Structure 1
Amino acid sequence: MVEHVEISDDLIAVRHHLHQYPELSFKEYGTTKFLRDQLTSHGIEILDTPLETGLVAQIKGEKPGPRVVLRADIDGLPIHEHSGLPFTSKNPGVMHGCGHDIHMTGLLAAAYWLAEHRDRIAGTAVILFQPAEETGRGSRYVIKTGALGKVDALIGTHNTPDHKPGEIAVSKDPMMAGCVSFAVTFHADGTHAGKPHCGTGPIEALASTVLSLQTVVSRNINPFRPVVLSITEVHGGDVWNVIPDTAGFFGTVRYFYKDDHDLVTRRFRQIVESTAAAYGITVDIKWDELAVPLVSDETLIGPVAQDVPSYATSVPVITSMGGEDFADFQQLGPLVFGSIGSNGQPGHHGIHNPEFVALDEAIKPTAEFLVNALLRVESELA
């Protein structure tokens, strides 16, 4: 038996408020207070945790069973909004350009329903409003603090504007990519631009390395396995007549399978270090693992997927090279993840775009996925 969640005008107003007052990662103080007040007003217990922003609450059922986490991310992006919405951001330069306001409101709606139907809960529903997803470090922060305690499974969602509200995609295959950020800095002997023989400038090494790295995917990766290696920033020099003593670049790797990750990591270091050596300079590499690939637990996602057509339209997953730090919670227990349609109109804009729009109609399927996935996961774990 699946459950349906009604979305009141008050919840729509909550979503609009959250959209108007976005806050950056690890600075979500106002958002946290607002969410705390919302939960408290509905009689939902807030747990005492070390979290500075974000919060953990719980709803105990009338029957014993597992502790299952429902998670929503709460941070905005450093984007100046141009969506044209009547409830556009009032915080200049900050925008909910990834739909986290939809995620938060959907989780609030699910929490309100669960608080009113404790007889349907076999265990404990743990409500996590997680900070700093956009940094790729928010989930690790929550894990490090021990804020969740022992849990048996975790359930999350992300909206996708490529699908319409009422459409939901789930899969046992990877849904979102693993994400690495890298920074490379070459160290050389700077000199006057008219006396290049007196130094060992880093610009040529940088240029050669950037070009060589483009062969990692095209010549080392199986073409049937998606991998991205993108260089996104290049820096070197401050004045036209000086060869600098440092230069460098930044970028990201996205992948779905660990063996591809390991191959790219190895080839990246080989190319960067050997090129630096060839130019007679040294190099520093910063390699930051921000997220692993997001894969739902194969045992749990099947039963959850079977329920979806009873309250939404089941659609194929659009695999994303975007990262999602929810994947890191696999350290605590098996994961279940749903992709919730949020727009689907012709000419819509994607996430992280100043003109991105997620529709209010996405709140209801978000809440219903969370509620029904929770009840199904509890049943499976029992």
Structure 2
Amino acid sequence: MTDQTDQTVHIDIKDDLIAIRRHLHEYPELGFKEFETTKYLRDQLQSHGITVLDTALETGLVAEIKGDNPGPRIALRADIDGLPVCERSGVDRPSKNEGVMHACGHDIHMSGLLAAAFWLAEHSNRIRGSVVILFQPAEETSEGAQHVIAADALGHLDAIVGTHNNPDYKPGQIAVGEEPMMAGCVRFRVTFNADGTHGAYPEAGTGPMEAMASTILALQGIVSRNVSPFRPVVLSVTQVQGGDVWNVIPAHAGFMGTIRYFYQDDGDLVARRFREVVESTAAAYGITADIVYDTVAGPLVSDAHLAQVVARDVPDYAELAPIKPSMAGEDFYNYGELAPMVFAFIGSNGQPGRHGLHNPEFVALDGAIKPAAEFYANAALRLGDEWSHR
């Protein structure tokens, strides 16, 4: 792997990196169970002379490449877990772990970051300060980033860089900027508590079914009547439950679902109206409601200055594409607690008829590895230079 004569990093992705990607794709593991994946990544890093740090993490790992010049600590993060999906992608080397698949393309993330780490280790004279390599577990559970933070696995950071492959873009396209990229994500559950009764004598109880149905319908008006149509928000009820027997009105019924939003003030508004609708509807039916309202992820928005800094280099090695915001959530936003962050979409397919993330037929193309690796390496070096000229 060699860089060219200018200051931009260009990385040749040779057959050994393709083989690494194929191996990772064949052996996906679920969140917090990525033991073999972690061992494999550790072996790859150490075989290139990269120091793996001791941390309290059972899966996932942190490594560090120290430069020859003083400067900041810049972290590069890739997630490593797969999904409980049975693969039907048709690729030559599909998953060998039955019922588990890299249906979100984290094998691309890992191989891209490995390629960048190998290059940086060979060119430590270009690094100001040090580059921290984070292979994060359990992104799909939305708990991995917080787990890394709680374990104090990273120490002090001056900035952190993340990516996600995106099949809506072609390989060679990268989207990075200061606009919202991925949505804030809420998981909610509502349970109505009433007095059950015989189905033939509804007047003897205060059944919850009507309250549940009325509430589900009323919730649909929150977005359409409270949020600007120019600010995307989604509220979806995805599961309902209530009753076990055909002739008994149950004492409890409820539903679950999710809310997605790009701006925190919209998230706050929907949270307030959600509680008002549920509690007032329950009261109107003379029953009570329990609400569980969990923020799984906040909106993912890059630090504006860092986004501008790293975006300037992208046209030297890839096509800088406009951001197409995704309603999916991403726990990378948690690292904003530690340091300014910047995030990019890396094109991974872009072909007509492509399948999206989490689909059993999802395919990420090998051509995504090179721009991913180059984004990681160039961002690390550029942010180091920027820090030194503050």
Structure 1 residue 185, shift from structure 2 partner: 1.0
- Give the AA of the match of 2:207: G
TM-score by length of 2: 0.97
CA distance in 2, matches of 1:322, 1:76: 16
Partner residue in 2 for 1:381: 387
Secondary structure, aligned partner of 2:350:
coil
CA distance in 2, matches of 1:379, 1:237: 63
Aligned pair partner of 1:3 in 6, 9, 15 = 9
Aligned pair partner of 2:371 in 365, 371, 376 = 365
Partner residue in 2 for 1:325: 331
Aligned pair partner of 2:59 in 37, 53, 58 = 53
Structure 1 residue 147, shift from structure 2 partner: 0.5
Aligned pair partner of 2:29 in 18, 23, 26 = 23
Deviations 1:246-296 (A, max 9, x none): 111111111111111110000000001111111111111111111111111
- Give the AA of the match of 1:8: K
Partner residue in 2 for 1:179: 185
Partner residue in 1 for 2:91: 85
Maintained 8 Å contact 1:130/1:139: yes
Aligned pair partner of 2:239 in 204, 211, 233 = 233
In structure 2, list runs of 5 or more residues that go unmatched: 1-6
CA distance in 2, matches of 1:15, 1:199: 60
* 1:293 and 2:293 correspond: no
Maintained 8 Å contact 2:179/2:323: no
Structure 1 residue 198, shift from structure 2 partner: 1.6
Deviations 1:293-327 (A, max 9, x none): 11111111112111000000111111111111101
Structure 1 residue 215, shift from structure 2 partner: 0.3
- Give the AA of the match of 1:350: G
In structure 1, list runs of 5 or more residues that go unmatched: none
Aligned pair partner of 2:175 in 169, 179, 190 = 169
Deviations 1:93-115 (A, max 9, x none): 11111100000000000100011
Structure 1 residue 91, shift from structure 2 partner: 1.2
Aligned pair partner of 1:335 in 330, 341, 352 = 341
Structure 1 residue 117, shift from structure 2 partner: 0.5
CA distance in 2, matches of 1:349, 1:268: 33
The percent of aligned pairs where both chains have the same amino acid is 67
CA distance in 2, matches of 1:3, 1:42: 19
Structure 1 residue 186, shift from structure 2 partner: 1.1
Structure 1 residue 359, shift from structure 2 partner: 0.3
TM-score by length of 1: 0.99
Structure 1 residue 10, shift from structure 2 partner: 1.1
Structure 1 residue 197, shift from structure 2 partner: 1.4
Runs of 4+ residues deviating >6 angstroms: none
Maintained 8 Å contact 1:300/1:380: no
Further displaced range: 166-175 or 238-247: 238-247
Aligned pair partner of 1:273 in 273, 276, 279 = 279
Partner residue in 1 for 2:3: none
CA distance in 2, matches of 1:259, 1:165: 35
CA distance in 2, matches of 1:298, 1:257: 15
Deviations 1:163-221 (A, max 9, x none): 11011111111111111111111111111111111211111111111000000000000
- Give the AA of the match of 1:48: D
CA distance in 1, matches of 2:289, 2:92: 50
Aligned pair partner of 1:204 in 185, 202, 210 = 210
Partner residue in 2 for 1:246: 252
* 1:107 and 2:131 correspond: no
Secondary structure, aligned partner of 1:299:
helix
Structure 1 residue 137, shift from structure 2 partner: 1.4
CA distance in 2, matches of 1:208, 1:3: 58
CA distance in 2, matches of 1:266, 1:195: 36
Deviations 1:319-364 (A, max 9, x none): 1111111011000011111110000111100101110000011000
| Backbone CA RMSD of aligned residues | 0.8
Partner residue in 1 for 2:68: 62
Deviations 1:206-253 (A, max 9, x none): 111100000000000011111111111111111211111111111111
- Give the AA of the match of 2:233: V
Secondary structure, aligned partner of 1:339:
strand
Partner residue in 1 for 2:313: 307
CA distance in 1, matches of 2:187, 2:387: 36
Deviations 1:355-377 (A, max 9, x none): 00000110000000000011111
Secondary structure, aligned partner of 2:182:
coil
- Give the AA of the match of 1:366: A
